[in-house]
Amino acid sequence: MSPGIDDSLPCTFVIFGATGNLATNKLLPALYHLEMAARLSESLNVVAFSRRPWNDDEWREFMREVLADKVKDGVDTPVFKRFLARFSYQQGDLRDVASYEALAKRLPTADDCSNAVFYLAVKPAEFSAVIRNLEAAGLNKPRGRSRVVLEKPFGEDIESARMLNQLLHQHFDEEQIFRIDHFLGKETVQNLLVFRFANTLIEPLWNRNFIDHVQITVAESIGIEDRADYYDHAGALRDMLQNHLMQLLTVVAMEPPAALEADAMHDEKVKVLRSIRPIAKRAVHAHAIRAQYARGSIDGEPVPGYQQEVDVEPNSVTETFVAAKFYIDNWRWRGVPFYLRTGKRMPRQASMIAIRFRHPPQQLFRETPLETLEPNWILLSIQPEESMRMEIHVKQPGLDMDTRLMQMNASFLKTDEQTLDAYETLLLDVIEGDRSLFLRFDEIEWAWRVVDPILKHWTVEREYIPTYAAGSWGPADANRLFDSDDQTWRNEL
């Protein structure tokens, strides 16, 4: 071991699928932000693995191009040069073991520092080939030290998720496996834990006695970009709801963990998932709706429909929008509906958790001009703005008994603070070996169990899918999920 190298930390970070969408949009910018923040150890090297027949210089040129408009200070700074110098390029085929043997030769020897992170930024269909080939080339050793990172969706249903997990366990120890759901790295989601468990004011109200319902919306204005080969088989239920939205639900609903450490958190989240009322086959229609975007316009610009996107199969019935209703049958939440929805090509990017409180028990103001008052809301905005707001009533100054709705805004970003994407936190956690924001397999398994009836039902209904115009908030049909007439989707903060 060379002096000055911490042998608990990885010395090599390998990105499989380095030229892909995830690597270029998320991983490379996040690693660069860690470089800027001086959080990458000097000894860390990054190997980009991809099929393209490039050498190191060609790869670095590619990086300069793809990062040019993503890094704030540009690509001509000393920090960026230092960052580029960490990278080397390994041309290879994910399914060919010889490529992994060539990769192994590139990695430092055990005498130096042989710990590595292998990040699978590849299509889920490639996961098992990569895992098998890592083993075949001896790259899963030393066991317990090297780490493997897998993106969601983990499997495409409960059975395939179990098989994938078994395969992983044949070659890696649990401590080596990082199942990522990047929503857990987002500031507002982490802040939700602080909001709930560091403020005594909130916790007594956080239950069925005071909360009428919860809405979780993740709306995106982007379409499927160039990801049809993945997305057309996945759809919104697998791509977003089973993982990102389900994780948001667990963080809203979980009990306080015994400690803020990985297993205690996982235990509480699993309890929530286990308490979700299973959806009976005949009730799927009442609990879930799906749709696909048709042509429309966003910000005044015409955008194509899903069927017109490159590489989407003709007459595909893949859903790009899903809305669903769940009940959590435990003491805290029984009877409170959780409405979840997500869609592509909606009017704008807007992700938020909106919690509506009950009406006051007595309508004291009925005889005044106020008549019915809007109930209180707590709004946790995840994107594009990160904020927490609470809507409360105050009396308007003047002679009449009139109120106005005020928003108490606890936006936590100060003007000189920069918001980071979720991946910075998570990549640092992988490097440092902190698994609390990663998923334990039983969380994934239970989340599949929750969506399984919907998935099965939609798999056989392949004839027809309703559409919504791109640039709209999804199909009007999504309103039929609500339990009462005074509940509606909240699109604005």
Q: How far is the CB of 55 from ligand BG6 (least distance, A)?
A: 31
User: What DSSP designation does 423 have?
Assistant: H
Q: How far is the CB of 275 from ligand BG6 (least distance, A)?
A: 25
Q: How far is the CB of 51 from ligand BG6 (least distance, A)?
A: 21
445 scored as a contact of ligand BG6 (CB under 6 A): no
Closer residue to ligand BG6 (CB): 22 or 84:
22
- How far is the C-alpha of 345 from the C-alpha of 222, rounded, in Å? 5
Closer residue to ligand BG6 (CB): 17 or 92:
17
Q: How far is the CB of 19 from ligand BG6 (least distance, A)?
A: 17
Closer residue to ligand BG6 (CB): 27 or 47:
27
Site residues (CB under 6 A) for ligand BG6, limited to 366-385: 383
User: Regarding beta strands 288-294 and 296-298, do their DSSP bridges make them parallel or antiparallel, or are they unpaired?
Assistant: unpaired
- State the catalytic residue, choosing from 244, 266, 287, 457: 244
Q: Which two three-digit tokens encode residue 245?
A: 């939205």
Instruction: Write the binding mask 42 to 81 for ligand BG6: x where contact by CB under 6 A, - elsewhere.
Output: ----------------------------------------
443 scored as a contact of ligand BG6 (CB under 6 A): no
213 is catalytic: no
Q: How far is the CB of 220 from ligand BG6 (least distance, A)?
A: 5
Q: Which of 299, 301, 320 lies closest to 309, judged by CA?
A: 320
* DSSP run (H or E) holding 377: strand 377-383
Closer residue to ligand BG6 (CB): 165 or 383:
383
| Cα dihedral value 237, 342, 16, 184, nearest 10 | -110
Q: How far is the CB of 29 from ligand BG6 (least distance, A)?
A: 12
- How far is the C-alpha of 339 from the C-alpha of 342, rounded, in Å? 10
Closer residue to ligand BG6 (CB): 186 or 325:
186
CA triplet 212, 218, 219: central angle to 5 degrees? 120
- How far is the C-alpha of 485 from the C-alpha of 157, rounded, in Å? 34
- Are 56 and 18 in contact by the 8 Å Cβ rule? The answer is no
Which bin fits 194, alpha (ψ -120 to 50), beta or left (φ > 0)?
alpha
Closer residue to ligand BG6 (CB): 181 or 212:
181
- Are 230 and 124 in contact by the 8 Å Cβ rule? The answer is yes
Q: Output the residue with the shortest Cβ distance to ligand BG6.
A: 239
Q: How far is the CB of 311 from ligand BG6 (least distance, A)?
A: 15
Site residues (CB under 6 A) for ligand BG6, limited to 173-232: 182, 220
Closer residue to ligand BG6 (CB): 188 or 472:
188
The site for ligand BG6, by CB under 6 A, has a size of 4
Q: Which two three-digit tokens encode residue 465?
A: 């899918």
Site residues (CB under 6 A) for ligand BG6, limited to 20-39: none
Residue type, 395: K
Helix (H, G, I), strand (E, B) or coil at 280: coil
- How far is the C-alpha of 353 from the C-alpha of 493, rounded, in Å? 10
Q: Which two three-digit tokens encode residue 82?
A: 């230092």
Q: How far is the CB of 36 from ligand BG6 (least distance, A)?
A: 20
Closer residue to ligand BG6 (CB): 89 or 293:
293
Q: How far is the CB of 48 from ligand BG6 (least distance, A)?
A: 21
Closer residue to ligand BG6 (CB): 22 or 279:
22
Q: What b/e readout covers 294-309, taking b as 16+ CB neighbours within 10 angstroms?
A: bbbebeeeebbbbbeb
**How many angstroms separate the most distant Cα atoms in the chain?**
83
Instruction: Determine whether 103 is exposed, middle or buried from the number of CB atoms within 10 Å of its CB (0-12, 13-18, 19+).
Output: buried
Task: For residue 301, report the phi and psi dihedrals to the nearest 5 degrees.
Answer: -100, 135
239 scored as a contact of ligand BG6 (CB under 6 A): yes
**How many Cβ atoms sit within 10 Å of the Cβ of residue 35?**
18
Query: How many Å is the Cα radius of gyration of the chain?
Result: 24
Partner residues linked to 350 by β-bridges:
219
- How far is the C-alpha of 270 from the C-alpha of 251, rounded, in Å? 11
The footprint of ligand BG6 (CB under 6 A) covers: 182, 220, 239, 383
Enumerate the active-site residues: 244
